[in-house]
Structure 1
Amino acid sequence: MRLLPSTTCALVLATLTVAGAGVPSSAAGWAPADRATIHPGVQMYTDGAQCTGNFVFTDRRSRVYVGYAAHCAGTGEATDTDGCKAGSLPLGTRVRFAEGGNLATDGTTVGRGRLVYSSWLTMQQRGTRSAPRCAYNDFALVRVARPSVAHVNPSVPFWGGPTALAGTTPATDDAVYSYGASSVRAGAAPLGPKRGMVIGRQGRGWSHDVLTVTPGVPGDSGSGFLDAQGRALGTLSTLAVAPVPASNGVGDLPRELAFARKHAGIPGLRLVPGTEPFDPAL
Structure 2
Amino acid sequence: MIKQSLLLLLFIILSACGGSSSTSSPTRSTIPSSGSIPNSQAVPSADHIRPGVEIVADGSSCTSNFLFSPNPQTVYIGVAAHCFSPDTNSGVDPCESNNLAIGYNEISIANASEPGELVYTSWRAMQEAGETVGSDICQYNDFALVKIHPNDLANVHPAAIAFGGPTALFTGTAAVGAGVFAYGQSPLHFGVRSREAKKGQITGVLGDGWAYDIVTDTPSLSGDSGGPIFTADGKALAATSVLSLSVSVNPVSNGVVNLERALQYAKNGGFINSGTKLLTWSEFHSGGDL
Normalized against structure 2, the TM-score is what? 0.83
CA shift for structure 1 position 96: 0.5
Distance 1:110 1:214 in 2: 32
Q: Deviations over 1:118-160 (max 9, x none)?
A: 0000001111117000000000000001111111100011111
Does residue 105 of structure 2 align to residue 98 of structure 1? no
- Which string of whole-angstrom CA distances, capped at 9 and with x for unpartnered residues, describes residues 12-60 of structure 1? xxxxxxxxx77525623x9972364210000000011110000000003
Q: Distance in 2 between matches of 1:274 and 1:162?
A: 5
Separation in 2, partners of 1:236, 1:246: 14
Aligned to 1:158: 162
1:27 is aligned to 39
Deviation at 1:185?
A: 2.0
Query: Which among 106, 126, 131 is matched to residue 128 of structure 1?
Result: 131
Q: How does 1:202-213 map to 2 (within 5 A)?
A: 202-213=206-217
Note the C-alpha offset of 1:274: 2.4
Tell me which residue corresponds to 2:238. Answer: 234
Shift of 1:275: 5.2
Matched, 1:176 2:180: yes
Kept after mapping to 1: 8 A contact 2:182/2:230: yes
Contact 1:234 1:253 in 2 (8 A): yes
**2:253 corresponding residue in structure 1:** 247
* Unaligned stretches of 5+ residues in structure 2: 1-9, 22-30
In the TM superposition, what is the alpha-carbon distance from 1:92 to its structure 2 partner? 1.5
Contact 1:84 1:120 in 2 (8 A): yes
Q: CA deviation at 1:188?
A: 2.2
Give the Cα–Cα distance (whole angstroms) in 2 for the partners of residues 150 and 32 of structure 1.
Answer: 15
- Cα distance in structure 2, aligned partners of 1:232 and 1:146: 25
Deviates more, 1:241-250 or 1:196-205: 241-250
Query: Does the 8 Å contact 1:201/1:209 carry over to 2?
Result: yes
Deviations 1:182-215 (CA, angstroms, capped at 9, x unpaired): 0122222221100000001211111100000212
1:269 Cα offset (Å): 0.6
Percentage identity across paired residues of the two chains: 34
**Match of residue 102 from structure 1:** none
Aligned match of 1:266: 273
Question: What residue is the counterpart of 2:49 in the other structure?
Answer: 38
Aligned-pair distance for 1:247? 0.4
Instruction: Please tell me the residue identity of whatever aligns with 2:168.
Output: A
- 1-structure distance, mates of 2:43, 2:218: 28
Unaligned runs of 5+ in 1: 10-20, 100-108
Report the residue type matching 2:64 in the other structure: G
Q: Which residue of 2 aligns with 1:12?
A: none
User: CA 1:188–1:167 in 2, change beyond 3 Å: closer, same or farther?
Assistant: same
Establish whether residue 7 from structure 1 lines up as the match of residue 19 from structure 2.
Answer: yes
> Deviation of residue 72 (structure 1)?
0.5
Distance in 2 between residues matched to 1:229 and 1:47, nearest whole Å: 36
What residue identity is the alignment partner of 2:103?
G
| 1:222 corresponds to which of 221, 226, 231 | 226
Partner of 1:15: none
Deviates more, 1:138-147 or 1:57-66: 57-66
Structure with greater Cα Rg = 2
Moved over 4 A (4+): none
Query: Partner of 2:25 in structure 1?
Result: none
The aligned residue for residue 74 of structure 1 is 85
TM-score (norm 1): 0.85
Structure 2 CA distance for partners of 1:31 and 1:81, relative to 1, 3 Å: farther
Aligned length: 261
Residue 276 of structure 1 and its aligned partner are, at CA, apart by 4.4
Contact conserved, 2:56 with 2:108, CA < 8 A, in 1? yes
Please state whether the residue corresponding to 1:59 is helix, strand or coil. Answer: strand
- Structure 2: how far apart are the matches of 1:182 and 1:35? 15
Q: CA deviation at 1:112?
A: 2.3
2:161 partner SS: coil
1:205 is matched by which residue type in structure 2? G
- The whole-number CA distance in structure 1 between the counterparts of 2:235 and 2:92 is 27
Matching residue of 2:64? 53
Partner of 1:64: 75
Whole-Å separation in 2 of the counterparts to 1:134 and 1:78: 14
The Cα RMSD (Å) is: 2.4
Is 1:117 matched up with 2:123?
Answer: no
